[in-house]
A and B are shown apart, each in its own frame.
Chain A
């Protein structure tokens, strides 16, 4: 039964794709929303009645599903986030055909793929073994490839999609190896089998899982694929960053943390990667002027903080931060999309839509505050929890987390001020004729803001107790000084953000480089180009050298044949010829002996006798 949670959206997506051409915009959006709603209902049922699922491919290969606590939280969050995004996409991205009633094929494909994306992600969070996980893991990657290449007509879009797919697939290889290691050690693929491993195999498996999670979660050194993913439409980015794809990495770590932490290098490595990404991503966000890329850098950074929580031994905290982040980040992306529609560009300097879209600006303000980690919003609480978790490992770690929080406050305020600030000279809007957003679009943004507001409830102690009991997670003890330091840093960040946006200056070269992950993008592109060049070299080698052996053999055979035809034939012809002549000569000579004269015969006989005697004598002597 548990399979329905994943199969329903997957099959629903196929149906939507097939039946979509008859529908109008409203019909398509409604149908997609209904599919997701039904899945939500099914998920609720599954959680309350404890569904299970398993399908045997063969004796050793069994796909199993199970709802874990983390899985339930993810499943619900994915659906709750996806629902407004799909509605938004139905109006923001789906165009109409010439008859102004039915929707275009591209639009149908986008909506169907978004729904399928949700299905694949559902499968991922329900998986209870590495085979099922790997299936879902790669399907999510494939879905995001097809979604990012939505506008395939533009030259650079398919390239960006391929880049995103390949970088994450490189991580997937880790999961292949991890699954293989689990099988080698235990004979099965279940999550439970991972715990049975020890020594080298466990290390290999953990390393593989970490690689896969880091690539999906856009942690260093893989962070830059998220920028390539920005070639996709806004709803795709919103979904990809908040609840699917990027979320897969942290889900896996949070889910398997108790087993993974059995390896002694796991915790320090995860904390190091997460913290590095949080800090570097923060700096990247500060200098980024592309609205979506700023948010993308922030995604890496926020997931970095979740990594720190897992590394510090509090996967539950990571889970809560994931939920808070999902709603606010999806909302911010959607709102960036609205601002872009008004100005025709994602350049933050050109936006400042505060006057034009006051309602959206307010909602975005709320979510920006949450991203900044401002009390009393939910994301602020989960961030403080992460700082507290890190504090258990050492005060300096807590300080670094707080510093990362300060950086997020800086870029969050920058985003808010530039995207929805008030323009001093209102005449510079580029697309003054742009229509106001549809109600569905603004509704989606407001809904996300509402959820962000609602999550403020976590500051209330009773809610905290309830959370830790129902999800059976442990929460770290907060200390007052950490909270104060954090808050000071957040306020400082916001202040610096204000100052930075006051000054309008052109981006310098180094700023460009910092804003693009310190040239990480170039490194990855260089590696890719290197592989292509190697391929070309080997192809030439194959044609010229490997095939040359074959051609050489053919030429050798030809040479032998020619040699045979000339010298060989002459020789072969010559031997019998000479033999003939020799025997001819012998016959002639024999005929000569037959002379008819007696003395010739006597001489012959005596010569013969001498020869015979000589032979006998030699025989006797020997």
Chain B
């Protein structure tokens, strides 16, 4: 029940916001925040109740829906899903609480936010492929309206581009899901059955095509180079909190999907192509970092670092999929690293995009050259940005390191060259973040920034919570690693 509560509560909250048309901005915001926190609490309860020694999927709810075609309402989580879902709920709370200009339509804004939260959590909690697909597509709708209605610059164009591009990916995904569905007798959309039976093992071309469709669909969402160009534009024009969700939550659906569907259900096929996927990930790592270094727009720069970081995740997944390697510990470590990277990137990039939102609210400008010397004027903003930037460049003691270290250690044991080239990514990210910090906060304060205001309490409160999460995972990630490793062992057959 607890998982159903986690995603239904925000949906009901959204409906309530849509229905009560007299609510003021403050009221709407408080309501949305309370609902989001409730959903987060439900997931925390699920986490506490999760037994690492238990079966792969826990807290399972199942309800007959369309038995004739094998569709049912099925939700349940393994450690990976639970970790990512909880992180997502936290990012949603942060994004909702973070102050933003709702352009006179607060109710609608918060309703769409809650709707998006419900759908996003649904993606991570679903155990039925059709349900997964429905949630996966509905998140696009929510994000489409958030960007299109509350964005800036050319929001309509960006929203449309985002929607159409990722929708094209969804269609491939639908085809692949049908392909998986048909491969099993009796036909079923139940993920647990598919994971257990591995129906496509040894079916050659058919399996290859299904795998390709799945991976292309998820690669667009992740996104992997060269399927990424929808991302920077959507980010630049989206309002700060929506960007935080886009990067923090929506991108994870790509990599989470990779783990849940192709990785878990088609182990043999994935193993065959793991090197190809690994190379694609390496390209994303290096290309994303270099292009980010070449950006002079704050938000675009951070958007491209997302491509770099999601590359680490995909690299970890690819390594974990390399069945032929007898180094089980390394594969497990790579998968753990990939999952931690998802959580870490969600928190870190979420924080960074919220910070971008604060910059926009103050000046309406993302160009790095517009800024400078703010360290004295806004020490709190500087502090949080430095922390998030260092977390993003993989500084130990912060969350990103725990992820990237494990990804590299695991990768080296299986594909040494990918690891050796991949570590260059953290050098380039270091360069681009130090350059960003220098251009934003150091040097002389330009005269037009004399009125630049320090963070408000709501802002630093939210950033403080996210930073605390980043710090805790970085210093003592045991609670997270135990959860993830329990599922990894089962997925990889180590237990």
Contacts and interface: CB of A to CB of B under 8 A. Distances in A.
A118 to B, nearest CB: 16
Q: Pick from A58, A540, A547 the residue with the most CB of B within 10 Å.
A: A58
Given A153-B442, A176-B423, A550-B165, A542 B430 contact: no
Contacts of B294: 532, 534-540
Interface string A517-533: 00000000000100110
Contacts of A166: 427, 430-431, 434
A176 B226 contact: no
Contact of A184 (B164, B291, B330, B423): B330
Contacts of A498: none
Contacts of B329: 60, 187
A103 interface: no
B226 A158 contact: no
Interface in B418-433: 419-420, 423-424, 426-428, 430-432
Contacts of A56: 478
A180 B292 contact: no
A532 B293 contact: yes
Contacts of A177: 408, 412, 419-420, 423
A178 to B, nearest CB: 10
Nearest to A187: B329
B229 A57 contact: no
B481 interface: yes
Q: Pick from A528, A535, A536 the residue with the most CB of B within 10 Å.
A: A535
A281 B239 CA distance: 53
A158 B442 contact: yes
A183 interface: yes
Contact of A539 (B291, B426, B438): B291
Given A173-B424, A177-B412, A542 B291 contact: yes
A540 B405 CA distance: 31
A439 interface: no
A142 B394 CA distance: 11
Interface stretch (A90-98, A130-138, A471-479): A130-138
Nearest to B295: A539
Interface string A183-218: 110010100000000000000100000000000000
Taking chain B's interface residues, is the majority helix, strand, or loop, or is none over half, making it mixed? helix
B477 interface: yes
B411 interface: yes
A181 interface: yes
Interface in B470-486: 476-478, 481-482, 485
B290 A538 contact: yes
B17 to A, nearest CB: 34
A229 interface: no
B482 A58 contact: yes
Interface string A246-259: 00000000000000
Nearest to A156: B443
A55 B426 CA distance: 26
A542 B139 CA distance: 27
Contacts of A542: 229, 291
B411 A180 contact: yes
Interface string A114-151: 00000000000000000100111011001001000100
A356 interface: no
Interface in B453-495: 476-478, 481-482, 485
B390 interface: yes
Given A58-B336, A152-B441, A184-B412, A531 B229 contact: no
Nearest to A10: B397
B24 interface: no
B443 A152 contact: yes
A49 B283 CA distance: 52
Chain B residues touching A, range: 35 or more
A555 B283 CA distance: 28
A461 interface: no
Contact of B444 (A155, A159, A536, A546): A155
B56 interface: no
B226 to A, nearest CB: 5
Interface string B247-287: 00000000000000000000000000000000000000001
A179 interface: yes
B444 A57 contact: no
B313 to A, nearest CB: 17
Nearest to B382: A152
B481 A550 contact: no
A535 B291 contact: yes
B401 interface: yes
A166 B430 CA distance: 7
Contacts of A142: 390, 395
B412 A57 contact: no
Contacts of B438: 158-159, 162
B375 interface: yes
Nearest to A155: B443
B221 to A, nearest CB: 15
Interface string B370-409: 0001011001000000000010000111000110011011
A367 B287 CA distance: 51
B230 interface: yes
Contacts of A549: 226
Q: Pick from B292, B293, B330 the residue with the most CB of A within 10 Å.
A: B293
B419 A180 contact: yes
Given A134-B405, A535-B293, A535-B294, A57 B424 contact: no
Contact of A57 (B287, B409, B477): B477
Contacts of B379: 105
B443 A55 contact: no
B444 A538 contact: no
B290 A535 contact: yes
A607 interface: no
A71 to B, nearest CB: 19
B443 A57 contact: no
Contacts of A59: 485
B295 to A, nearest CB: 6
A152 B430 contact: no
A169 interface: yes
A170 interface: yes
A211 to B, nearest CB: 11
Contacts of B443: 152-155, 158
B327 interface: yes
Interface string B347-374: 0000000000000000000000000010
Q: Pick from A157, A538, A542, A547 the residue with the most CB of B within 10 Å.
A: A542
A152 B375 CA distance: 8
Contacts of B376: 153
A161 B435 CA distance: 11
B397 A183 contact: no
B333 A60 contact: yes
B431 A162 contact: yes
Contact of A181 (B332, B412, B441): B412
B454 to A, nearest CB: 13
Contacts of B327: 184
B409 A139 contact: no
Contact of B427 (A155, A169, A183): A169
A159 B431 CA distance: 10
B395 A176 contact: no
23 contacts: A58-B477, A58-B478, A58-B485, A136-B396, A142-B390, A152-B441, A152-B442, A157-B442, A158-B437, A159-B438, A179-B405, A180-B419, A183-B330, A184-B327, A184-B409, A184-B412, A184-B416, A531-B290, A531-B431, A532-B294, A535-B428, A536-B294, A539-B294
Interface of A: 55-61, 105, 131, 134-136, 138-139, 142, 145, 149, 152-155, 157-159, 161-162, 165-166, 169-170, 173, 176-177, 179-181, 183-184, 187, 189, 204, 528, 531-532, 534-540, 542, 546-547, 549-550, 554
Given A134-B405, A180-B412, A183-B409, 4 more contacts: A139-B397, A158-B434, A177-B423, A184-B330
A-B complex: 8 closest residue pairs judged by Cβ atoms: A539-B294, A535-B294, A535-B293, A180-B412, A184-B413, A135-B396, A58-B481, A152-B442
